């Protein structure tokens, strides 16, 4: 369905003609696109969630109030919405109007369509989640509703499109990589600070985007800190931008905040051993890191790269260690073929390769696939360096960590914040 080039016009013809016309389209010009239904969606009130803005009312939304129309049906001509466009400055300002760079972009249209489709799914899914995520729910219920909606909206199909990685919903001093395993009955509390970090992929192009969910206004400053840090990182990012300098801008933004908790004023600091990262096809951590503190890293960002710009603000040590029960795992991207002696491990590896390839997965998802007694086999795959565990990353107990993250694309002519929405 994604074959059409970049003619993004909605067609005029009758609804019935939509299907027949689809094949003939290609001549350019506005006519002949499939007829698309639009809906009047009221403003979504996100006021229970701190610093998550409302979704604006729209008369022409392609999603209905029940939130069950797949993205592919909403955009049959693959004219998915663009993210926020930020123009290059300084030595790269010429790119905005360069015909050569525009032509280069045209050659990448198909790739851009995939990630924009994933981003639109992410926006609509998080809008849905923001409407129901409230204190008193179990974390398992929160993430399962989210994951089910992602699959429904992206029309999940094996490795072709679906989840990008497990839904992180790390609480309080846990910064990242926590999702409930089955049997964990943790309930979301009014005083919790939850980092909701989930991904959507289409054709291996992963949108990695996260925000903090909190209800108690006392956390305002620390949420604002990671929000400002991420926006500073996005602003500093660009072709030829140096990683260490981007980290410096992020650090400065985060450290300009402080928080008062229990009568004490605490400094807010970036978590110095957590980073943003480049993203490759079917590879969530693509090999380059974007620090969130100033450093000597002189490595540069390059044209055409995808990055997750993510920042973490903490009122604890600002340093994380691995702790707690592991839920996140991922097949090693370039793992060599290793002969396995244990039958159950072979079967589990086959299941992982069929369903996730090199994308991250969690233990709940293995259970859902019928691999209910997988723990020893999984340990065996880890011991054989075929699968890497990603345990929860924790600051000091009793502290709070917040996160915000967007996926950006360094297009030849501009920087596109793919995952930007009304909410953040």
CA–CA gap between residue 219 and residue 262 (Å, rounded): 12
Residue 131's SS3 state is helix
Query: Which candidate in 7, 73, 105, 285 is catalytic?
Result: 285
Largest CA distance in the chain: 69
Question: Catalytic: 184?
Answer: no
**From 120, 147, 192, 208, the catalytic residue:** 208
Respond yes or no: is residue 197 known to be catalytic.
Answer: yes
Is 252 part of the annotated catalytic residue set? no
Mark whether 208 is an active-site residue. yes
2 catalytic per annotation: no
Inter-residue contact 424 to 211 (CB < 8 Å): yes
111 belongs to the catalytic site:
no
Catalytic residue among 77, 192, 310, 395: 310
264, 262, 287, 260: which is closest to 276 by C-alpha? 287
Cα Rg of the chain, angstroms: 22
Identify the active-site residue in 122, 277, 328, 406.
Answer: 277
Distance from chain centroid for Cα 369: 23
Among the listed residues 4, 120, 197, 249, the single catalytic one is 197
Please count the other Cβ atoms lying within 10 Å of the Cβ belonging to residue 15.
11
Q: Which of 211, 195, 315 is nearest to 261 (CA)?
A: 315
- Give the closest residue to 165 by CA, choosing from 8, 358, 346, 351: 358
- Among candidate residues 405, 406, 416, 423, the one labeled active-site is 405
How many CB atoms within 10 Å of residue 8? 15
* Catalytic residue ranges: 197, 208, 277, 285, 310, 405
């Amino acid at each position: 369905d994604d074959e059409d080039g970049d003619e993004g016009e909605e067609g005029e013809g009758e609804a019935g003609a939509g299907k027949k016309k689809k094949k003939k389209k290609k001549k350019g010009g506005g006519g002949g696109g499939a007829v698309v239904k639009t809906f009047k969606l009221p403003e979504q009130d996100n006021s229970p969630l701190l610093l998550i803005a409302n979704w604006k009312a729209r008369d022409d939304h392609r999603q209905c109030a029940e939130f069950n129309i797949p993205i592919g049906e909403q955009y049959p001509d693959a004219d998915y919405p663009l993210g926020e466009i930020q123009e290059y400055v300084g030595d790269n300002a010429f790119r905005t109007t360069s015909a050569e760079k525009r032509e280069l972009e045209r050659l990448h249209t198909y790739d851009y369509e995939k990630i924009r489709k994933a981003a639109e799914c992410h926006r609509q899914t998080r809008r849905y989640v923001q409407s129901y995520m409230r204190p008193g729910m179990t974390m398992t219920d929160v993430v399962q509703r989210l994951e089910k909606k992602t699959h429904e909206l992206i029309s999940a199909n094996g490795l072709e499109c679906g989840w990008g990685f497990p839904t992180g919903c790390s609480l309080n001093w846990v910064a990242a990589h926590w999702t409930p395993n089955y049997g964990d009955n943790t309930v979301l509390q009014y005083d919790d600070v939850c980092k909701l970090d989930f991904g959507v992929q289409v054709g291996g192009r992963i949108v990695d985007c996260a925000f903090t969910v909190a209800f108690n206004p006392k956390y305002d400053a620390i949420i604002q800190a990671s929000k400002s840090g991420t926006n500073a990182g996005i602003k500093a990012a660009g072709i030829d931008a140096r990683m260490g300098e981007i980290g410096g801008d992020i650090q400065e933004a985060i450290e300009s905040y402080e928080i008062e908790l229990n009568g004490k004023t605490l400094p807010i600091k970036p978590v110095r051993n957590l980073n943003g990262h480049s993203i490759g096809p079917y590879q969530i951590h693509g090999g380059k890191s974007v620090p969130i503190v100033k450093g000597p890293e002189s490595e540069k960002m390059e044209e055409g790269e995808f990055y997750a710009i993510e920042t973490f603000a903490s009122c604890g040590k600002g340093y994380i260690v691995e702790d707690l029960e592991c839920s996140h795992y991922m097949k090693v991207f370039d793992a060599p073929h290793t002969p396995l002696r244990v039958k159950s491990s072979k079967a589990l590896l086959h299941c992982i390769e069929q369903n996730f390839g090199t994308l991250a997965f969690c233990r709940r998802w293995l259970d859902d696939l019928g691999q209910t007694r997988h723990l020893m086999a999984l340990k065996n795959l880890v011991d054989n360096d075929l699968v890497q565990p990603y345990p929860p990353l924790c600051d000091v107990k009793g502290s709070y960590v917040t996160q915000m993250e967007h996926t950006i694309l360094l297009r030849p002519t501009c920087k596109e914040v793919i995952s930007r929405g009304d909410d953040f």
